[in-house]
Homo-oligomer: A and B are copies of this chain.
Amino acid sequence: MIEDPLGAFCAHNPAELEGSGAGPLAGLSLGVKDLFDLKGYRTGSGNPDWFRTHPPAEATAPAVQALLDAGADIVGKTQTDELAFSLNGENDHYGTPVNPACPDRIPGGSSSGSASAVAGGLVDIGLGTDTGGSVRAPASYCGIWGFRPTHGAISLDGVTPLAPSFDTVGWFARQAGPLARVGEVLLPAGTPQPPTRLYFGADAFEAAMAEAVGPLRAAAERVADSLGLALRMQTIADDGLDLWLHHFQALQWSEIWATHGAWIEAERPRFGPAIEARFKGAAAMPAERVEVAAAFRKGVIERTAGWLTPGCLLLVPSAPTRAPLKGLPVDQVTDYRNRALRILCIAGLNKLPQLSMPLIDIEGCPLGLSVIGPRGSDRALLDIGVRIAGTE
């Protein structure tokens, strides 16, 4: 079993699987979030009662199998927030993986262990999932590359669901090259369209904290220079990202309760208090609010598709600023979470792919700048990451 000074792996649920030995990922080590089924192992999903009540998996999740077939070696299952329902990476049962870039700060979650292990050099590739930001936030906080694909582009079979219309398979790497190579294995084939227009998502940048505004803008300008494109101001949500978040939450929470409510009511699992409170909120989401939100989301998708057309890219912050300190008071956590979700809900509501690039430093801690593309532009985004990495 791998040495784990960071607490990134599941000590209660160790796993190792050798890859095919040949292929585009040969020689790369892989950590897999403990939300993915590995044949013969239990999937723990970050909660001891889930672990206890679920038998070993009968098959390996196809996304994981594809990576094994491509030559990657699994060295362990990595920590996750409970049922992936958090952006922080602080698991009350199993501890908080260290953020190697900033050890007094949270690693971000829910794909906390994969991000920590990649950032700390324990593995080359970290596999995660991203429903509301669970790859993008920890990538940003840990100073690594992270990718959330177009919704539906990669199979979620054998992955513990959270909110199916938002769930995606995502991954991390320390460099843009390996990140893109994973995409070549997992994503549908296609010829990436070169970028012709670059938008600066003004309202998303306005959700950033004051100390991050200048560095985020400077990074956006460097990206524009790298790509040889002007930065065009674009308001993403004419009706306000607050309203987008409001409807995002209604949809996400109602799907979460539809997914896990029966198990929770049957098993009465113990959750950490913050997770417990949010599951209660999910259980109480009124149906009429969800109906309105579903119609709203349709409108959002149509409106965004009206300007984020093929060849267009949209820059947004990956998060409002560097990782929050560990153990902040709950009101600060909530305020910060809402700022983060105002930005993170954009790709989720619209089912768009998003690449988080570790381009920014805030007083010694990392922050990501993200590029969002239209649906299906996944390979183009990963290529752009490689181009930008080459000029930074």
Contacts and interface: CB of A to CB of B under 8 A. Distances in A.
B200 A221 contact: no
Interface in A213-244: 213-214, 217-218, 220-221, 224, 230-233, 235
Contacts of A233: 200, 217, 220-221, 224, 230-233
Given A206-B214, A206-B217, A214-B203, A232 B231 contact: yes
Nearest to A235: B221
- Chain copies in complex: 2
A102 interface: no
A232 B235 contact: no
Interface string A233-259: 101000000000000000000000000
A202 interface: yes
Interface in A196-213: 200, 202-203, 206, 213
Which range holds the interface residue count of chain A? 10 to 19
B235 A217 contact: yes
Contacts of A203: 214, 217
A7 to B, nearest CB: 38
Contacts of A202: 217
A206 B221 CA distance: 15
Nearest to A240: B214
Nearest to A202: B217
A227 B224 CA distance: 24
Interface string A29-57: 00000000000000000000000000000
Contacts of A230: 230, 232-233
Nearest to A214: B206
Contacts of A235: 217-218, 221
6 smallest CB-CB distances across A and B, nearest first, come from: A231-B233, A230-B232, A200-B233, A202-B217, A206-B213, A233-B233
5 contacts: A206-B217, A217-B233, A230-B230, A230-B232, A231-B233
